[in-house]
Amino acid sequence: MLGTELDNSLLEDILTQVRPLIGRGKVAGYIPALADVSPYNLGIAVCTTSGETFSAGDADSRFSIQSISKVLSLTLALTRYQESEIWQRVGKEPSGQPFNSLVQLELEQGKPRNPFINPGALVVCDLLQTRLTAPRQRMLEVVRQLAGMPDINYDRDVARSEFEHSDRNAAIAYLMKSFGNFDNDVITVLQTYFHYCALRMSCAELARTFVYLANKGQPLGSDDALLEPRQARQINALMVTSGMYDGAGEFAYRVGMPGKSGVGGGIIAIVPGEMCIAVWSPELDAAGNSLAGTAALEKLAQRIGRSIF
């Protein structure tokens, strides 16, 4: 099923090719605790649906997964709610706006365009706050199980740093509350959201964690499905249209896979039926997506001849 060429040396080769791009992007500066991360980190890992793993560079170094966690919170919500209960509060359309924009939210009566922009993820966290007694603990349990790593944890410094600079996300949440699309205490939900974003994971752990999206909702090393096959397909569809924010079109064109980025510089990408790929390079492009990370995915897609299109 896999091209014979997918191995560690291919991944090494790809990192060598994209390393010169370091210096062309910008490390996220709006969360002070993230601004200190070295731009020279560069890692890539692949986990196949049969459990084969490949990696290169800083694939085992943990970093702040940030918005990649929005896929996990949506997954958790799908296990706790009827689909209609989720989609009456958040849409499925690309936003065409930066991930933390307020403008569209005001014009569209407090209903976020999709679950991957900050307003959408905050609504999803609000839903989780309602149905889970300990949403932070539950997320840790799920992630540790999926990754097979019991010591995965939140980076408390990053979570605190975001909380201290939470004006924009707080404004988003209060705006949604004013439209009746937010049930719980805003500060409580913000804390949950910031902790989810502050999960520290490596590329190798991310690739293993998210392989359920390549495997019809079935995690690695477990007999229990996390999602129905249809739900895994639906999340992949949303990742294609909204996972890379305003860069979704460019990413579909260049990489051709469902993807989700985080401002920590991580990206996960899915080859349905085959594998999950995770990359990390902290410098971002103008849309807030890892610059060298996207280039690495583009090269890998070409070399192994994979695209969903």
Please give the annotated binding residues, written as ranges. 67, 118, 162, 169, 193, 245, 263
Residue from the set 129, 161, 169, 236 that interacts with ligand DON by CB under 6 A? 169
Contact, 213 vs 258, CB < 8 A? yes
Is residue 40 part of the annotated active site? The answer reads no
Applying the rule CB under 6 A, the residues between 23 and 62 that interact with ligand DON are: none
Q: Could you tell me which residues are annotated as the binding site for substrate?
A: 67, 118, 162, 169, 193, 245, 263
Minimum CB distance to ligand DON, residue 100 (Å): 5
Look up 61 and say whether it is catalytic: no
Selected binder of ligand DON within 197, 220, 232, 255 (CB under 6 A): 197
Distance of closest approach, residue 103 Cβ to ligand DON, in angstroms: 16
Q: CA-CA distance, 97 to 119, in Å (whole number)?
A: 12
Minimum CB separation of residue 199 from ligand DON in Å reads 11
Kindly tell me which of 21 and 65 has the beta carbon lying closer to ligand DON: 65
Least Cβ distance, residue 101 to ligand DON (angstroms): 11
Task: Quote the least distance from Cβ 115 to ligand DON, whole Å.
Answer: 13
Q: What CA–CA distance (Å, rounded) separates 293 from 178?
A: 38
Pairing of strands 153-154, 199-201: antiparallel
Among residues 118 and 294, whose Cβ is nearest to ligand DON?
118
115 binds ligand DON (CB under 6 A): no
263 binds ligand DON (CB under 6 A): yes
| Annotated active-site residue in 64, 70, 90, 186 | 70
Q: Which two tokens stand for residue 28?
A: 């996220």
Residue 277 near residue 15 (C-beta atoms within 8 A): no
100 sits near ligand DON (criterion: CB under 6 A): yes
261 lies in the site for ligand DON, by CB under 6 A? yes
Sheet holding 259-261, edge to edge: 53-57, 43-48, 275-280, 266-271, 259-261
Residue tagged active-site, from 245, 260, 261, 281: 245
Backbone φ and ψ for 27, nearest 5 degrees, come out as -70, 140
Interface contacts to ligand DON, rule CB under 6 A: 66-67, 99-100, 118, 162, 169, 197, 261-263, 288
